[in-house]
Amino acid sequence: MHDDARPPGILTASWLVARKDLAIEFRTRTAFLAAVVFALLGVTIFYFAWDSTAVAAMDLAPGVLWVIFTFSALLGLQRSFGVEQADRAIDALLAAPVEREAIYLGKALANLAFVVGVEAITLPALALFYNLPVGEVFLPLAGVAVLAAIGIVAVGTLFSSMAVNTRLAELLLPMLSLPFFLPIVMTAAQTTARLLAGRPIADAWPWLRILVGFDVVFIVACTLAYPFTVEE
């Protein structure tokens, strides 16, 4: 790949790790398809969990959307470090002459693509099935979805790397992650509800501010924390 012997910089290395993960996912497509099917099933099943004559689909949608996004994201996050367990591929990755932070960032980048990909299919599906007026607010809504995905991925990638090393393995990931997703789900769902109700984005600003703050704090904290979780 590189003719010179110098190891790649942190950004190049992150990109290489992300590309590797995305290539695996693109060739197998197992986790992505599973997550999309799971999300679509969620959209349809949730509709029948409420009396549609008593609760308008519009009132239901923000909650349903964020519950589904969070849980389908967990499916992708579980695989993130799960794929490295076979043949102890993680050892080779850790032995590579790249910064540990780059491995975390690369994994997080691939997970972000995964989560945003699932969101890109689920959001239009929800709009279709629940008859939501998303036309005018689609861009701000997509922006909120990406901001929330960043927070979910920042925390989830770190916990995924930790969970695979425990006896509980993938069972532990939701237990560790979901309490951390609370501020994300709350801010994103509140913002979504305001956007769908046709209120100006400024109305949701107090919520968005917390979401952005969460993203910044946890990207930095988890990037710094990752090397501690992989030392030998």
Residues near another protein (CB under 8 A): 155, 158, 162, 165-168, 172, 175-176, 179-180, 182-183, 186-187, 190, 206-207, 210, 213-214, 217-218, 221-222, 225, 228-229, 231
Cβ proximity to another protein, 45 vs 175, nearer residue: 175
Cβ proximity to another protein, 22 vs 103, nearer residue: 103
How long, in residues, is the chain? Answer: 232
Q: What are phi and psi of 132, to 5 degrees?
A: -90, 140
The residues near 37 (Cβ < 8 Å, ≥ 6 apart) are: none
Other C-beta atoms closer than 10 Å to the C-beta of 194 total 22
Select from 106, 42, 41, 115 the least CA-distant residue to 77.
115
CB of residue 127 to another protein, shortest distance in Å: 25
Residue 54 sits at the vertex; the CA angle it makes with 49 and 58, to the nearest 5 degrees, is 75
> Helices marked H in 29-167 — which ranges?
30-48, 57-82, 89-95, 100-129, 138-163
Cβ proximity to another protein, 137 vs 184, nearer residue: 184
CB of residue 51 to another protein, shortest distance in Å: 22
CB of residue 63 to another protein, shortest distance in Å: 13
Cβ proximity to another protein, 75 vs 185, nearer residue: 185
CB of residue 160 to another protein, shortest distance in Å: 13
